[in-house]
């Protein structure tokens, strides 16, 4: 696992051993996602990664210029791996949490993010619940982007008030689904 581009491009990241803990996003998928949403960020953009694993997605956002990044993983070993990766790269401008996703989201009510990355363990089947929570609590900035990484078989509803389905793309066993925030006057 490596950082693809930006300030920390080509730097190798620590990962967790064992497929039962995390499922790192493939470099090809990560590259496609960041090319699609960026590829670089404005300094004041905010990025939320709810299920961070080893921190590769959040660190990629930081490497590409995003200074307001929140990362979380409920698994203690994953959380410690993220801490190690941040320390190795000497990154300190991150809010890092070790919380259940519901506790994290409740703590974030009142904040807005330009980008929200949703990649729970595929077997949890909670993506519609998370998207509804983001919608009902207005956590996505107007004109922001939600990126959902899921099993290729998964499809999600487009029943939200504050964002709309834009497209999805398949990569072997993975589906990436994009939602775009709707501006409200």
To the nearest whole number, what is the mean pLDDT of the chain? 93
Residue 37 — φ and ψ, nearest 5°?
-95, -5
Q: 27-181 architecture in CATH?
A: 3-Layer(aba) Sandwich (3.40)
Per-residue pLDDT of 110-159, as tens digits, reads 999 999 999 999 999 999 999 999 999 999 999 999 999 999 999 887 88
pLDDT score of 97 more than 80: yes
- Mean pLDDT on 157-162: 89
pLDDT attached to residue 177? 97
Measured between alpha carbons, how far is 17 from 20 in angstroms, rounded to an integer?
9
pLDDT score of 20 more than 70: no
Measured between alpha carbons, how far is 185 from 181 in angstroms, rounded to an integer?
13
Integer CA distances (angstroms), 139 to 32, 167, 183, in order: 24, 21, 13
pLDDT score of 1 more than 60: yes
Q: In the 8-state DSSP scheme, what is residue 99?
A: -
- Mean pLDDT on 91-105: 97
Beta bridge partners of 169: 176
pLDDT score of 160 more than 90: yes
pLDDT attached to residue 71? 98
Task: Give the pTM.
Answer: 0.95
Residue found under tokens 């953009």: 45
Domain ranges of the chain: 27-181
Lowest-confidence pick of 2-11, 20-29, 49-58, 123-132: 20-29
């Amino acid at each position: 696992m490596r950082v693809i581009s930006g300030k920390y491009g080509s730097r190798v990241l620590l990962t967790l051993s064992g497929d039962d803990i995390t499922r790192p996003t493939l470099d090809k998928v990560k590259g496609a996602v960041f090319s699609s949403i960026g590829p670089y960020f404005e300094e004041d953009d905010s990025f939320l990664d709810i299920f961070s694993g080893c921190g590769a997605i959040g660190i990629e956002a930081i490497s590409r210029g995003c200074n307001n990044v929140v990362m979380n993983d409920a698994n203690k070993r994953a959380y410690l791996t993220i801490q190690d990766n941040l320390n190795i790269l000497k990154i300190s401008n991150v809010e890092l949490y070790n919380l259940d996703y519901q506790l994290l989201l409740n703590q974030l009510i009142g904040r807005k993010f330009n980008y929200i990355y949703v990649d729970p363990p595929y077997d949890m089947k909670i993506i519609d619940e998370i998207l509804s929570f983001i919608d009902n609590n207005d956590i996505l900035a107007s004109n922001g982007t939600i990126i959902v990484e899921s099993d290729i078989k998964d499809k999600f509803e487009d029943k939200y008030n504050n964002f709309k389905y834009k497209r999805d793309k398949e990569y072997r066993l993975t589906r990436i689904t994009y939602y775009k925030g709707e501006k409200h006057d």
